[in-house]
Amino acid sequence: MKRKRVLIITYYWTPAGGGGVQRWVKFVKYFLDFGWEPVVYTVSNGDYPILDESLLKEIPSDVEVIRTPIWEPYDFYRRLVGKKKNEKLDANFLSQGKKMGWKEKIGVWIRGNFFIPDARCFWIKPSVKFLCDYLEKTPVDAVISTGPPHSCHLIGLGIKKKIGLPWIVDYRDQWTQIDFYHELNLSYFADKRHKTLEKKVLDSCNAITPIGKTMAEELKAISTNRTEVITNGFDDSDKVDVNVPLDEKFSITYIGTMNNARDPIVLWQALERLKKINHPLVKDIVVKLVGKPEASVHESIKKYELDNLVEFVGYVPHSEAIKFQNSAQILLLVINNTWNNKSILTGKIFEYLASNRPVVCIGPKDGDAADIINQSGAGVVIDYNEVEVLEALLKQWYQKYLEKTLVSSSSGIEKYSRKNLTGQMAHLLDEITS
């Protein structure tokens, strides 16, 4: 049977690191197993906050990757706020956990009101022209755009208008419904422009693939177009080190970026209480932060005098992160403490499930993440202010740690394997191209 071809438009691609890259690296890795040949369109000079060269080995050698240059205004922003030219910027510099100065506020206002939908907007027109020329000579059967940045969706919209190919809009995160949208200080006209563009994108595509059910419901308030939830997941091939020895210490390991909205204050408060009563676990515990904790997290740890209990590991390649995860006594998951937290479903939750270690999730008990934790039996969900509940849980799990009976009883997680999820995406492509 002849393979069909799908064009994937993404800003984040190797050598970039992070969950957004992993989602599409894994889809590309398994698409061929379902009769779809992927062609990746990305940038040649992206301004990536983190790099992870290890993801390169995940991509089949015969996958075509097309790269074109992009001009981004971040050098202007760096000059405005006094940063060095080569200094990395986080994708969302609105959540640094510190009070912004007037220069930062001006930069945010310019970003929201002039760079619509985002700072990658200058890539849209040249990409539409380039890809329409490319597709005329080398046809594909369908197009997928994944965002953020949502400029990728406007490239998809341009192709849809000119060529009319079946098109899937993949939402890894919200656009006008994202938690920091109100912090952009948008004018009436800029706000209307953002919302008009988003509705046009969602109404024009053939299907929308949000990563969670709450996000899907929120998108239905904007468009009645077909919506199919395709979550993130775990890759069975990443489980090769699942039998690594557990940490000797009573370790609580967090993997990923930890910003102001993800600062686990309830954990710091519980540990402070245990430290004050000189509970035995204080001598055995270590909280490992694998990734990039922002300034506010460091400040919280100092405030609660927990410096001697926390280990800052820093960012590591994805393969190394899996080892930290599989050797942890307990895995920590923190859902952003924001108004839209019920819809937040981080990619790491699924890899946590695959590690078969107990998970303590700090977040809303009626959110998407809580549903998955509870349904799989992988751990316990603690609300942001349940200090006494978390303190009691840590005491209980510490006793099991001493008895060497601290295990996870997760089940039914096979549906979250990256290969099965790619099968869902491929089936959707088959339907919209039939």
Span 28-47, pLDDT tens digits: 999 999 999 999 999 999 88
Pick the CATH number of 236-414 from 3.30.565.10, 3.40.50.2300, 3.90.870.10, 3.40.50.2000: 3.40.50.2000
DSSP 8-state assignment for residue 18: S
Q: Is 51's pLDDT higher than 90?
A: no
Q: Where are the alpha helices (DSSP H) in 286-357?
A: 295-303, 318-327, 348-355
| 291: alpha, beta or left? (left if phi > 0; alpha if psi -120 to 50) | left
What pLDDT is attached to residue 84? 61
Question: Which neighbouring-strand residues pair with 293?
Answer: 258
Q: Is 189's pLDDT higher than 50?
A: yes
Q: Is 147's pLDDT higher than 90?
A: yes
Q: Is 353's pLDDT higher than 60?
A: yes
Segment 160-180 shows an average pLDDT of: 94
Segment 105-124 shows an average pLDDT of: 83
| Best CA proximity match to 367, nearest among 175, 184, 214 | 214
Phi, psi of 8 (to 5 degrees): -110, 120
Residue 152 tokens, joined? 């990728």
pLDDT-above-70 percentage for the chain: 91
Q: Is 118's pLDDT higher than 80?
A: yes
Residue 183 tokens, joined? 């912090």
Helix %, strand %, coil % for the chain, to 5? 45, 15, 35
Segment 392-403 shows an average pLDDT of: 97
Span 331-349, pLDDT tens digits: 999 999 988 899 888 888 9
154 pLDDT band, cuts 50/70/90, is: very high
Contact 293, 304 (CB under 8 A): no
Span 407-426, pLDDT tens digits: 887 888 999 999 999 999 99
Q: Among all chains, which residue has been given the structure tokens 């295990």? A: 407
Which regions of 261-415 does DSSP assign to beta strands (E)? 285-290, 310-312, 330-334, 359-362, 379-382
Instruction: Work out whether strand 359-362 and strand 379-382 pair parallel, antiparallel, or are unpaired.
Output: parallel
Q: Among all chains, which residue has been given the structure tokens 């890899």? A: 351
Q: Is 94's pLDDT higher than 50?
A: no
Radius of gyration for the chain, computed over Cα atoms and rounded to the nearest angstrom: 22
Span 293-346, pLDDT tens digits: 988 999 999 999 999 999 999 988 888 888 999 999 999 999 999 888 998 888
Contact 62, 31 (CB under 8 A): no
Neighbours of 150 (CB within 10 A): 26
Q: Is 85's pLDDT higher than 60?
A: no
Q: Is 91's pLDDT higher than 60?
A: no
Q: Is 107's pLDDT higher than 90?
A: no
Cα distance between residue 328 and residue 290, in whole Å = 11
Bond before 149 cis per omega within 30 degrees: yes
What pLDDT is attached to residue 93? 46
Segment 79-105 shows an average pLDDT of: 54
In this chain, the answer to whether the domains covering 4-233+417-433 and 236-414 adopt an identical fold is yes
Segment 349-371 shows an average pLDDT of: 93
Query: SS3 of 84, please?
Result: coil
96 pLDDT band, cuts 50/70/90, is: very low
Domain regions of the chain by residue span:
4-233+417-433, 236-414
> What's the topology of domain 4-233+417-433?
Rossmann fold (3.40.50)
Residue 304 tokens, joined? 């609660």
Bond before 245 cis per omega within 30 degrees: no
Q: Among all chains, which residue has been given the structure tokens 């895995």? A: 331
Q: Please count the helices (runs of H) and the strands (runs of E) in the chain.
A: 15, 12
97 pLDDT band, cuts 50/70/90, is: very low
Amino acid letter at 162?
K
Whole-number Cα distances in Å, 143 to 8, 36, 139, 197, 221: 6, 12, 11, 18, 24
Q: Is 366's pLDDT higher than 60?
A: yes
Span 220-256, pLDDT tens digits: 999 999 999 999 999 988 765 556 899 999 999 999 8
